[in-house]
């Protein structure tokens, strides 16, 4: 097998589609590549991989297949100052058999490969747990969906593949000791790193020792208590430990906070700093500082929400991610809402009220209401990372109209004299094709095309290059539309003979 064929086998993904990413610029603050992602609805071939390795056209593969199973998964660490060797050491420490690749922007893609299919509903949450244990909570997980809406044109999201440009690339993989690997070395490493589903699901992501430290508490705090809080986030950490203490030790929580300080802070905070934190907690009920360091990097929201002293189901916003636009006419929007795929209209995307109704109808969830501005900002952020799924032209309203106009002009009887246009047909003369809009409208109606008004039909004809001319036939003036015959092609086999005109036959006799 060629290297391209072996890569195709390793990264076996969605059979209907693949992705491309068009870079427009680098983001100034962190160097992340900015651009737009497009999903092309055609199978991935060896030729696509060969172009990717040659540096001609970058390739993105969608891990989730139409049966909602995967052969591989990935964690996308968007930290562009990351030390890849430190990440590799973390993987070794936790005995996670993953392969680290440098992303195009300098971050890391952490890949897990399998010997057989694994359900996406099992793979995705397990990768989320691994991400939290490694200290990269909030990283994108591929597959991004546990279920895709195939009948709606949904394909899932792709991740850009390594080794764009072959060995002459910045998207290379690292070996077990942090050395860069050639393409062939990476392929061999990946093939030998494949796991069974059972082996993967048995990877340790929960530690009994840490769970005993804060019974029924947030997993992030449990994990960090097991290793201790260093300088740089101790105040936020002790504040969150105080929130836990208030719930778990209501009678003497102030003393418990003092004990947490000496036991887990390295070094402990001063007496004055602890007093300030205790005073803040005495004023009112506070939530955990989930979005602040150091606990944000180890957050596992789904597990935390199930804990007695966790964040609770109503304390955090709903997770909205992976906005996809199926580029039809009109477009279909697909959005992950707390891990479930929801189909939306454009109205539902811009109206929070309609959005909530769709979520209730489709996934039995009522998302929390945001302020109008917060909703707008959230939608704009999703649109800036939009994935566009290209659809075949004939599946759109515009494409359907063009096909029906073509069939009206080409697949019916044709006239060749101007006078024949009054029979409701298209006339082919003077290297052009002429027809009346009223006759085209009848053809559209017969074929159940009712999407356009007569004005919209006229506008669409003009957009396609049609020209409006004035004819006078039998003393009667009329406006007709015309296209060059080359617009429809010149396949004579499509021509249907016009039946004899009785009036013409009488004139001959």
Tell me the mean pLDDT in the region 422-444: 95
Q: Which residue has the higher pLDDT, 10 or 35?
A: 10
Whether the upstream peptide bond of residue 330 has omega within 30° of 0, thus cis, is yes
pLDDT digits (tens, 9 = 90+) for 122-158: 999 899 889 988 888 878 999 999 999 988 889 999 9
How does residue 251 score in pLDDT terms, banded at 50, 70 and 90? Answer: confident
Q: Is pLDDT above 90 for 394?
A: no
Helices (H), 417-453: 437-446
Contact at 8 Å (CB) between 187 and 7? yes
pLDDT of residue 501: 53
Q: Which residues, other chains included, contact 83 with Cβ-Cβ below 8 Å and sequence gap of 6+?
A: none
Nearest 5°: phi and psi at 66? -65, -20
Q: Which residue has the higher pLDDT, 167 or 211?
A: 167
Q: Which residues, other chains included, contact 16 with Cβ-Cβ below 8 Å and sequence gap of 6+?
A: 41, 42, 43, 66, 155
pLDDT digits (tens, 9 = 90+) for 221-246: 887 887 778 777 888 889 989 999 98
Q: Which residue has the higher pLDDT, 265 or 13?
A: 13
- Kindly tell me the burial class for residue 49, based on how many C-beta atoms sit within 10 Å of its own C-beta (0-12, 13-18, 19 or more): buried
* Dist CA 27 CA 12 (whole Å): 31
Q: 0.75 cut: is pTM over it? A: no
pLDDT of residue 209: 61
Q: Is pLDDT above 50 for 121?
A: yes
Instruction: Provide the edge-to-edge strand list for the sheet that holds 340-344.
Output: 159-160, 60-61, 18-26, 33-40, 387-390, 320-326, 332-337, 340-344
How does residue 23 score in pLDDT terms, banded at 50, 70 and 90? Answer: low
Question: Within 10 A of 37 (CB to CB), how many other CB atoms are there?
Answer: 18
Contact at 8 Å (CB) between 107 and 79? yes
Q: Which residue has the higher pLDDT, 388 or 286?
A: 388
Closest by CA to 156, choosing from 331, 334, 378, 393, is 334
pLDDT of residue 443: 95
pLDDT digits (tens, 9 = 90+) for 187-199: 999 999 999 999 9
Longest distance between any two alpha carbons in the chain, whole Å:
119
pLDDT digits (tens, 9 = 90+) for 455-494: 999 999 999 999 999 999 988 899 999 999 999 975 544 4
Contact at 8 Å (CB) between 259 and 271? no
Q: Is pLDDT above 50 for 286?
A: yes
Tell me the mean pLDDT in the region 203-229: 78
- What value does the mean pLDDT of the chain take? 87
Contact at 8 Å (CB) between 348 and 358? yes
Angle between helix 120-134 and helix 84-94 axes, rounded to 10 deg: 110
């Amino acid at each position: 097998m060629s290297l391209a064929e072996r890569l195709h086998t390793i990264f076996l993904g969605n059979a209907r589609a693949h992705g491309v990413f068009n870079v427009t610029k680098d983001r100034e603050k962190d160097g992340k590549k900015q651009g737009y992602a497009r999903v092309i609805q055609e199978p991935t071939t060896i030729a696509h991989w060969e172009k990717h390795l040659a540096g001609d056209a970058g390739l993105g593969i969608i891990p989730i297949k139409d049966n909602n199973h995967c052969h591989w998964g990935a964690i996308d660490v968007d930290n562009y100052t990351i030390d890849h060797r430190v990440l590799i050491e973390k993987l070794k420490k936790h005995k996670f058999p993953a392969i680290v690749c440098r992303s195009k922007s300098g971050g890391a893609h952490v890949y897990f490969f399998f010997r057989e299919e694994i359900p996406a509903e099992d793979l995705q949450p397990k990768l989320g747990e691994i991400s939290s244990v490694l200290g990269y909570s909030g990283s994108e997980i591929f597959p991004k969906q546990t279920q895709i809406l195939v009948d709606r044109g949904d394909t899932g999201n792709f991740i850009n593949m390594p080794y764009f440009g072959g060995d002459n690339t910045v998207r290379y993989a690292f070996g077990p000791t942090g050395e860069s690997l050639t393409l062939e070395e990476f392929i061999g490493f990946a093939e030998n790193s494949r796991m069974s589903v059972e082996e993967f699901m048995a990877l340790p992501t929960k530690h009994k020792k840490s769970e005993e430290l804060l019974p029924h508490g947030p997993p992030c705090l449990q994990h960090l208590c097991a290793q201790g809080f260093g300088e740089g986030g101790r105040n936020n950490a002790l504040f969150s430990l105080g929130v836990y203490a208030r719930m778990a030790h209501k009678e003497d929580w102030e003393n418990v906070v003092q004990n947490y300080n000496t036991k887990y802070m390295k070094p402990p905070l001063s007496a004055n700093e602890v007093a300030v934190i205790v005073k803040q907690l005495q004023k009112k009920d506070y939530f955990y500082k989930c979005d602040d360091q150091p606990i944000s990097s180890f957050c596992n929201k789904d597990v935390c929400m199930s804990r007695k002293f966790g964040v609770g189901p109503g304390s955090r916003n709903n997770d909205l991610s992976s906005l996809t636009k199926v580029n039809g006419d009109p477009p279909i929007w697909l959005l992950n809402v707390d891990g479930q795929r929801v189909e939306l209209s454009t109205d539902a995307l811009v109206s929070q009220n309609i959005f909530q109704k769709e979520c209730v109808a489709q996934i039995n969830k009522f998302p929390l209401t945001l302020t109008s501005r917060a909703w707008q900002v959230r939608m704009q952020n999703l649109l800036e990372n939009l994935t566009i799924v290209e659809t075949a032209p004939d599946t759109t309203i515009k494409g359907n109209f063009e096909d029906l106009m073509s069939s009206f002009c080409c697949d019916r009887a044709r006239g060749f004299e101007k006078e024949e246009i009054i029979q409701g047909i298209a006339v082919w003369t003077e290297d052009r094709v002429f027809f009346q809009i009223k006759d085209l409208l009848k053809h559209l109606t017969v074929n159940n095309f009712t999407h356009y008004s007569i004005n919209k039909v006229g506008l669409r004809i003009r957009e396609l290059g049609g020209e409006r001319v004035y004819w006078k036939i039998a003393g009667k003036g009329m406006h007709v539309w015309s296209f060059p015959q080359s617009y429809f092609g010149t396949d004579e086999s499509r021509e249907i003979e016009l039946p004899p005109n009785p009036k013409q036959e009488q004139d001959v006799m």
